[in-house]
Chain A
């Protein structure tokens, strides 16, 4: 190793900042190189004098001067920082408010989008596919079949407006068939039966189908469409209503078609009747009668279907499963019931919320980007100016 390299190591060697290997190298070199040995001694001597350099005294005590500065200095710094930061904060708020106002004014952009009326209105045309109460479907499949082809209600006389076709088919009125289903858990089935009879009388509804088992009931109820909601409200007071679903089907077109068809049939019958009066030959009379019979029969069938449809429109079908509450058991109805499921649900909810917030934050940041950039320029500039002022 050359002397020049060794000298640097030598310096570190004096300060005890070398590795064992380097120490060995230096010591070996020193034994063989007189020049480096001399330098080494000079370094040591210099160090000795440097260590004994006297500490010098200032003219006046620094103590008092520093003490004086500590108090006002601290206050001054704090004051400067406070006023500057306050100014910065006010500026930011102003810029932000201005920005929001301008952007809202110019483009109608708003941070929180408002749903339009059309969006908010619930579509009435939704169809099928809503899960019915599982118990009800499995227990009584025939109940699910909503509209038997020919059905004449036993108490047809009660049907509102069934006689007056003209009024019931007021123009523009939507014809909706509502179907609801649910599962109710009650304390005693007897109480429920009693309540159901009373309530049906109240709302002028009736039982279309009913199946009784030891611990459960499967009923298909016909409830006047306008009273379905109040019926459900009342039902909820009887026990715990689960899996409640409502399904609405728009049958306006079918309704109108059938109305027109009935009118046509009726006018045709009138026309055929007048033909019958004119008919003179036996064969003619027979033919016209046969036609009249066919038309009358068709009219009756159509009317029956129409009544059925009207029935379904004015009466909502409610497939209800009623079960008796199980005897209380340890763990039942406690927070530990379905604990795993609940935990999972909460977990999923929490994560959904988390990501929703994250995404919203992301959009907020993007929205605020121009102001952030402005801030990034203004704040360091202010900081730099303060620094400069302090240094002065």
Chain B
């Protein structure tokens, strides 16, 4: 965390190298979120770039009130949410989960060995979740944002965040149960 603060301070003073260190550190995390929201690599790269540009522009407003990572995820969440609203036309057009898109270079041996199956079925289930629910659940579970932080990032009230997380969980649970029953799990 402290190294983050130092890099942020340097980047704010115009040190572009410091900012590229920060990008390097968070590149995968930001890209992953973007990819899981968009479902397409090209679009996800575009979105991730936009997120980093926004982070750079907003760097001056970061007061160190929360960990830099949390702040960055908030900016990322906000940008994703905006993108979702812009792309509303595509919302009905359900994206098919394609393992090759996500795991182009394959999983690392550890992941593959322990829970390849679980991960793949979850990824698939996630993709059938409405985008806004998907985003909110990822922010909570994978990125560890608290309800209040999510509420701020997406300009929602706390109650809505609470309800949406519950709906996301419940829906995901049902999808997973259906997958098991139907035996469509590709990994089996």
Residues of A in contact with B (beta carbons under 8 Å apart): 7-8, 10-12, 15, 17, 39, 42-43, 46-47, 49-63, 65-67, 69-70, 73
Asked if B7 is at the interface (CB within 8 A of a chain A CB), the reply is: no
B23 touches A49 (CB 8 A): no
A54 touches B111 (CB 8 A): yes
**Closest Cβ of chain B: how far from A384's Cβ, in Å?**
15
Cα–Cα distance between A263 and B175 once the two chains are bound (Å): 127
B142 touches A15 (CB 8 A): no
Q: Which residue of B lies closest to A73 (CB)?
A: B53
B122 touches A56 (CB 8 A): no
**Closest Cβ of chain B: how far from A3's Cβ, in Å?**
11
Mask, B108-147, CB within 8 Å of A = 1, is: 1001000100110011000000000000011011100011
Q: Within 8 Å CB of A39, what residues of B? A: 170, 173
Q: Within 8 Å CB of A8, what residues of B? A: 162-163, 166
Asked if B29 is at the interface (CB within 8 A of a chain A CB), the reply is: yes
Mask, B159-172, CB within 8 Å of A = 1, is: 00011011001101
- Provide a sorted-by-A list of 8 A–B residue pairs whose CB atoms are within 8 angstroms: A12-B165, A39-B173, A43-B173, A49-B119, A56-B35, A69-B49, A70-B19, A70-B56
Cα–Cα distance between A322 and B48 once the two chains are bound (Å): 91
B122 touches A12 (CB 8 A): no
Q: Within 8 Å CB of B12, what residues of A? A: none
Q: Within 8 Å CB of B20, what residues of A? A: 63, 66-67
Cα–Cα distance between A12 and B108 once the two chains are bound (Å): 33
Which stretch from B63-71, B73-81, B89-97, B99-107 is at the chain A interface?
B99-107
A55 touches B115 (CB 8 A): no
Cα–Cα distance between A135 and B137 once the two chains are bound (Å): 91
User: Once A and B bind, how many residue pairs between them come within 8 Å at the CB atom?
Assistant: 116
Cα–Cα distance between A12 and B158 once the two chains are bound (Å): 11
Q: Which residue of A lies closest to B122 (CB)?
A: A49
Cα–Cα distance between A12 and B31 once the two chains are bound (Å): 27
**Closest Cβ of chain B: how far from A144's Cβ, in Å?**
77
B24 touches A46 (CB 8 A): no
**Closest Cβ of chain B: how far from A250's Cβ, in Å?**
75
Cα–Cα distance between A133 and B147 once the two chains are bound (Å): 80
Cα–Cα distance between A54 and B169 once the two chains are bound (Å): 19
A57 interface neighbour in B31, B118, B123, Cβ under 8 Å: B31
A50 interface neighbour in B16, B104, B142, B146, Cβ under 8 Å: B142
The 7 A-B residue pairs whose C-beta atoms are closest, nearest first, are A50-B141, A11-B166, A55-B28, A8-B166, A66-B52, A55-B32, A58-B31
A54 touches B52 (CB 8 A): no
Known contacts A46-B169, A54-B111; is-contact A66 B53 (Cβ 8 Å): yes
A58 touches B45 (CB 8 A): yes
**Closest Cβ of chain A: how far from B142's Cβ, in Å?**
5
Q: Within 8 Å CB of B8, what residues of A? A: none
Asked if B44 is at the interface (CB within 8 A of a chain A CB), the reply is: yes
Q: Which residue of A lies closest to B162 (CB)?
A: A12
**Closest Cβ of chain A: how far from B52's Cβ, in Å?**
5
**Closest Cβ of chain A: how far from B139's Cβ, in Å?**
11
A63 interface neighbour in B27, B36, B138, Cβ under 8 Å: B27
A62 touches B122 (CB 8 A): no
Q: Within 8 Å CB of B118, what residues of A? A: 49
Q: Within 8 Å CB of A42, what residues of B? A: 173, 176
Q: Within 8 Å CB of A62, what residues of B? A: 23, 27, 30-31, 45, 48-49, 52
Q: Within 8 Å CB of A50, what residues of B? A: 122, 137-138, 141-142
Cα–Cα distance between A54 and B112 once the two chains are bound (Å): 10
Q: Within 8 Å CB of A53, what residues of B? A: 32, 36, 119, 122-123, 142
Q: Within 8 Å CB of B28, what residues of A? A: 55-58
B146 interface neighbour in A17, A47, A59, Cβ under 8 Å: A17
Q: Which residue of A lies closest to B163 (CB)?
A: A8
Question: Which one of A42, A55, A65, A66 has the greatest number of beta carbons of chain B within 10 Å?
Answer: A66
Mask, B49-62, CB within 8 Å of A = 1, is: 10011001000000
A65 touches B49 (CB 8 A): yes
Cα–Cα distance between A8 and B102 once the two chains are bound (Å): 31
A17 interface neighbour in B105, B138, B162, Cβ under 8 Å: B162
**Closest Cβ of chain B: how far from A210's Cβ, in Å?**
82
**Closest Cβ of chain B: how far from A122's Cβ, in Å?**
62
Q: Within 8 Å CB of A7, what residues of B? A: 166, 170
Q: Within 8 Å CB of A67, what residues of B? A: 16, 19-20
A12 interface neighbour in B115, B141, B166, Cβ under 8 Å: B166
Question: Which one of B111, B166, B172 has the greatest number of beta carbons of chain A within 10 Å?
Answer: B166
Question: Which one of B29, B103, B163, B170 has the greatest number of beta carbons of chain A within 10 Å?
Answer: B170
Q: Within 8 Å CB of A12, what residues of B? A: 147, 162, 165-166
A49 touches B146 (CB 8 A): no
A59 touches B23 (CB 8 A): no
Cα–Cα distance between A39 and B162 once the two chains are bound (Å): 17
Q: Within 8 Å CB of A52, what residues of B? A: 111, 115, 119
Q: Within 8 Å CB of B45, what residues of A? A: 58-60, 62, 65
Cα–Cα distance between A17 and B149 once the two chains are bound (Å): 12
B169 interface neighbour in A11, A60, A70, Cβ under 8 Å: A11
Known contacts A8-B162, A12-B166, A67-B20; is-contact A54 B173 (Cβ 8 Å): no
